[in-house]
Chain A
């Protein structure tokens, strides 16, 4: 067992990874597992983008209270992403609008994209992983 962040394999290949978060934060394990994968990926110094779309935008909502469902509230962890040098967070306008949300309802700073901008961003990626 080691702290793997200190390793350097010297390959130096940087790919564009997009993690697509589409599901509500609780009820399934996707959101939390996706977040953990993102935190692990951060150790490999890749070009990482996170997208929150459909019910995935709820993952970023302020003021989540999970006491009633007795699960961990990991929404604060999105604020730690900056420390992991993951600073490209995107939300699509259509998903926000459909749920009556605005950027002010979100726990972190994000870039809000229109549908065509999101499509372009996805087209640029080497790898897209959906949760």
Chain B
């Protein structure tokens, strides 16, 4: 699998650019992935990224977008747990893009 150099460290990614070993994840990697995805990270983005990392730690999977949206609504309120808000942050798919930035695998069920 391809190796990329991120902030001086060799990191393995899969053919779609997702981090292979999520224990390697750090903020530099998140920033690199965000550039790849053409997403400019703000606090609102970080909130979703950190939420996803917590979700993964608890359930060992990257959630499908519908599940992510619902879970965010529960934790952060309905003004954030909706498609409009999340797609404005991550236009090419909140689950797909935010997972990549969070160092998670591509969500199960995402084709």
Contacts and interface: CB of A to CB of B under 8 A. Distances in A.
A72 B95 CA distance: 21
Interface in B62-107: 63-67, 70-71, 83, 93-96, 107
B111 interface: yes
B54 to A, nearest CB: 13
Given A3-B93, A4-B109, A42-B109, A83 B60 contact: no
A36 B64 CA distance: 12
Interface in A1-30: 1-6
Nearest to B65: A3
Interface string A61-96: 000000000001110110110011000000000000
A3 B64 contact: yes
B24 interface: no
B110 interface: yes
B26 interface: no
B93 to A, nearest CB: 4
Given A39-B109, A43-B109, A3 B60 contact: no
Instruction: Tell me what chain A mostly uses at the interface: helix, strand, loop, or mixed.
Output: helix
A114 interface: no
Given A3-B93, A83-B67, A40 B108 contact: yes
Nearest to B93: A3
Contacts of B41: none
Contact of A74 (B58, B60, B83, B110): B60
A5 to B, nearest CB: 4
B40 to A, nearest CB: 21
Interface string B23-38: 0000000000000000
A76 B59 CA distance: 5
A83 B70 contact: yes
B20 interface: no
Nearest to A83: B67
Interface of B: 58-61, 63-67, 70-71, 83, 93-96, 107-111
